[in-house]
Each structure stands twice: as structure tokens, then as C-alpha cells.
Structure 1
Amino acid sequence: MLQPLRYAINVTLDGCCSHEAGLSPDAESMAFWTDELRRSDTLLYGRVTYELMEGAWRRPESGEWPDWMDASEVAFAEVMDPMRKVVASATLDAVDWNAEVVRGDVVEAVRRLKEHPRRGISLGGVKLPATLAALGLIDEYTFVVHPVIAGRGPRLLDGVDLKLELIEQRAFRSGAIVQRYRPAAQAMAPRE
């Protein structure tokens, strides 16, 4: 059985995916994202997303989390920090933070990753997910839709044509809505 590739991202009502757009994280949303991380044992990012995540969630050399982090952010960081990370990049020579670089045929590398039995692969970012979605490699999509119009920034799966089937929905007290989907063809197939 192939391990699932799950794409999850915050998005505004107008489809923007900038990490600066949307509502500020609160304890409820951070608990959700922490649980999302726990569903997988591998994180798959492009270079930009990897560097953003490393800058925010990597344990400092001192071993102490920064004062700006509240308990929910520390819980998230403590799950993310030790996880295996795979970075698709043509420009990075080396990475650390429990990471490895994938060069060349990223699609083939993702197919190989999916062949190893594990809990799953958590995919983040904007460009890499659009490439993988267009090829039908993503098994599940989770969008946390924020009640905000950003008006600028990268767009969710820009240029990708998909038909999705809603499999779960829930609201946060903040007004953000979690929407979980599967590709329509997979949603109709019998589960193993």
C-alpha cells in the first residue's frame, strides 16, 4: 500500500496562500496543525517553504524555545523539529534539520517516497504542490480557509484543474473553516 501524500495549507477566501495573510494563529488552530503533523512521519517541502519553516520552528541551539512562542506554538514546534524532512530544490547544496535534498526528477522522487510503508507524507508550500496535484499524486487536500480577503500573494493551486470531494468540514471559533478533500476518483473508490 502506498503511503498517502497529504497537502495542507492556510488559504484566504480569495485563494491566497501567503504566510502573512489570514488570521493570526491561536491555540485552537495550532492544536489542529500539530495534530496534522502527527498524521505523517515525513514532511515534503520546496526550498522556500523549508526555509520559512526552519526559521520559525527549528529548536534554537540554546535548546530553549523563544519567548514569543506560546504553549501551542511550542507543542507544534516540538512535533515538527524532529520529523524527517525532504526538500525539493535545484539550488540548495545541503540541508540539515533532519532533512535531505531531492534533485532532478522530483515527481519520480515523490513516487519513490510514497512506496515506503509509513504513516504518510505531509506536503506544504505552493509551487511544488501545484506540480504534484496536476499529476494526480496528492491523495488528500486540507484547506484551512480564513475569513480574510488578502488581495495579493501566491494563489492556491494556480493553473491546476481538479475535481475534489469534501470528506470533512469543521469550523474554528475564529471563523476559519477546515475543509478536507480527496480527489473525486479516489473518494469513490472502495477503501482498503
Structure 2
Amino acid sequence: MGLLTFSINVTLDGCVDHREGIADDETHAHFTRLLDQGGAMLWGRTTYEMMESYWPLVARGETDAPPALKEWADTLETKPKYVVSSTRSDYPWTNSHHLPGELRTAVQQLKDQTPDGVLLGSGKLATELDRLDLIDEYKFLVHPMITGHGPTLYQDGLPSTRRLELLSAEPLSNGAVAMHYRRVG
């Protein structure tokens, strides 16, 4: 069985707005390495639609991008992508699949069939999956900024506090810190 790892960019004040943070070569290389290590991606519909509107164009060379972004796009293009949605079932982007059925069962089955693990990249979906006790690890890239706005990490709340064990903390030269935690208890 593979692990479900929630990974996202987050500012010091908890903002997870995709327009915030440092979007440089080092950041993209970091996330490309994470993607390479995992067996699949898992997103909610909104995140999937945001991603599908840009990254396939970069992978096909229809949009100019620096080498680090092109590498991310190429890696993402080949990776299996699973989407949780109650309103959409058609996913034309390469290697994209609808994850139907009851959420707990569907995600547990995905974990069971993906020994290299599943990388979760949607904040709202992460809240729901954490409520179901399905997230095993957290890999946050913490950016050195305070935005003063949302959306924020877990803004819809959790039923109880999550205790985490620090596995690693790696500073990047851009000032961000890659934090890797495992859930305990």
C-alpha cells in the first residue's frame, strides 16, 4: 500500500493561494522531484481544471516556459492523475481519470493500488481526506512571506488537532523551506 502525501505551497500565515509564493526554477524543481517519487497525483475538480488549462500547453510546447517549468509539465503529463468530482466525469488531459464512488473507499483503493504513493495537491480535498484519516504524510513548501489573505490551509477546520513528526526540513536558496512531516497518533 502506498502513502497518501499532501503537498502544497503555503505562506507563513497559512495562505495556499496558488498566485502567492515563489514560483522560480528551484521551487518547480522541488515539486518535480516530489512528483517523480510518487506513483500518481490526486486533485479535486477545481485544482485539476486550473492545472489542465496551462500545463498540457507547456508540455506540448504551445506555451513558452523556462526549462524547470517544462520539466515539471513533462513529468506531470506522464503521471497518472486522479480527480475527485461530483460534477464532472470527462477528463481529456493525458493519463487523467475520474475517481468515482464513496470518497473514503475510492481513495483507500487508490492508495492500495499505488505502491509508490499518491501525491495530493488540493487544499479543500485535503481537508476532507484528513477528516477521514486518510493522509499519511505532509510535504509543505513554506514560503517566506505573509500575505494577509486566504484561502488558508484547513480553513474549513478539522474535528481534532493533528500531531505530526518532523522527518526533514530543507531550506531552499530562495528562502522557502521544504517541510516533511508524518502523522502520528
TM-score normalized by the length of structure 2: 0.92
Alignment gaps of 5+ in structure 1: 186-192
Task: Give the structure 1 partner of residue 134 of structure 2.
Answer: 137
Per-residue CA deviation, residues 15-34 of structure 1 (Å, 9 max, x unaligned), is 010001122x1111111110
Task: Give the structure 2 partner of residue 13 of structure 1.
Answer: 12
Question: Cα offset for 1:47?
Answer: 0.3
The question of 1:109 aligning with 2:106 is answered yes
Separation of aligned partners in 2, 1:135 and 1:93: 23
Separation of aligned partners in 1, 2:111 and 2:61: 34
Task: Give the structure 2 partner of residue 188 of structure 1.
Answer: none
In the alignment of these two chains, the number of paired residues is 181
Question: Cα offset for 1:103?
Answer: 3.2
Question: Cα offset for 1:52?
Answer: 1.1
Question: Cα offset for 1:152?
Answer: 1.3
Question: Cα offset for 1:60?
Answer: 6.1
Question: Cα offset for 1:125?
Answer: 1.0
Separation of aligned partners in 1, 2:119 and 2:62: 23
Amino acid in the other structure paired with 1:177: V
Query: Helix, strand or coil for the counterpart of 2:134?
Result: coil
Query: Helix, strand or coil for the counterpart of 1:44?
Result: strand
Task: Give the structure 2 partner of residue 75 of structure 1.
Answer: 71
Alignment gaps of 5+ in structure 2: none
Amino acid in the other structure paired with 2:15: C
Alignment of structure 1 residues 32-43 onto 2, 5 Å: 32-43=30-41
CA contact (8 A) 2:58 2:70 kept: no
Alignment of structure 1 residues 14-33 onto 2, 5 Å: 14-23=13-22, 25-33=23-31
Task: Give the structure 2 partner of residue 166 of structure 1.
Answer: 166
Question: Cα offset for 1:59?
Answer: 3.9
Identical positions, percent = 37
Question: Cα offset for 1:107?
Answer: 1.5
Separation of aligned partners in 2, 1:73 and 1:183: 31
Q: Provide closer, same or farther for how the CA distance between residues 41 and 65 of structure 1 changes in structure 2, counting only shifts above 3 A.
A: farther
Per-residue CA deviation, residues 112-144 of structure 1 (Å, 9 max, x unaligned), is 111114311110111110111122211110111
Question: Cα offset for 1:48?
Answer: 0.6
Question: Cα offset for 1:65?
Answer: 4.3
Query: Helix, strand or coil for the counterpart of 2:167?
Result: strand
The question of 1:95 aligning with 2:91 is answered yes
Separation of aligned partners in 2, 1:27 and 1:148: 18
